[in-house]
């Protein structure tokens, strides 16, 4: 079972600018290979971590770091641009491991995310975080 909640965030700075040379190189590689070239992993949370703590941490991270609030946008002329959002919402997918091994279920979710290309460059907010809850965790 998976549920999704939206985590609102606000942070300093926003705008749309040209890609940096590094961003441009990555964008060209993405176009060449036809993949979003994800950076993903699975991390176990501390014993007793609550949903409220996870939400608060993601809200802080999204609010604090402009790089995480940066999206790819395509200009009217088709050029790739970077757009930093000063506010928005990020979805948090909550997956119930049920009777399964939480580590195995988490790896399957990670693999699913990695196999899925990023959403449209015209989307308005970042979207790609999730948390695995073992049975009995609040």
List of domains in the chain: 2-36+44-133 (3.30.559.10)
Amino acid 9: pLDDT = 94
pLDDT tens string 84-128: 999 999 888 888 888 888 889 888 888 888 887 776 544 433 444
DSSP characters over the chain: -EEEEEEEEE-S--EEEEPPHHHHHHHHHHHHHTS--------PPPTT--HHHHHHHHHHHHHH-GGGGEEEEE-TTS-EEEEE-SEEEEEEEEEE-TTS-HHHHHHHHHHHHHHSPP--TT-SS---EEEEE-TT--
pLDDT tens string 26-73: 888 888 888 777 777 888 888 888 889 989 998 999 999 988 888 888
Amino acid 59: pLDDT = 93
Amino acid 137: pLDDT = 43
**24 pLDDT higher than 70:** yes
Amino acid 2: pLDDT = 64
Amino acid 135: pLDDT = 44
């Amino acid at each position: 079972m998976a549920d999704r909640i939206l985590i609102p965030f606000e942070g300093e700075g926003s705008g749309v600018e040209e890609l940096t040379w590094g961003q441009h190189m990555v964008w060209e590689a993405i176009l060449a290979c036809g993949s979003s070239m994800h950076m993903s992993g699975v991390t176990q949370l501390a014993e007793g971590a609550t949903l409220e703590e996870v939400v608060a941490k993601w809200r802080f991270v999204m609010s604090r770091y402009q790089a995480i609030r940066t999206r790819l946008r395509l200009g009217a002329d088709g050029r790739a641009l970077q757009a930093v959002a000063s506010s928005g919402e990020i979805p948090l997918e909550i997956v119930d491991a049920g009777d399964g091994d939480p580590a195995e279920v988490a790896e399957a979710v990670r693999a699913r995310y990695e196999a899925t290309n990023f959403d449209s460059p015209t989307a308005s907010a970042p979207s790609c975080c999730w948390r695995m809850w073992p049975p009995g965790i609040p």
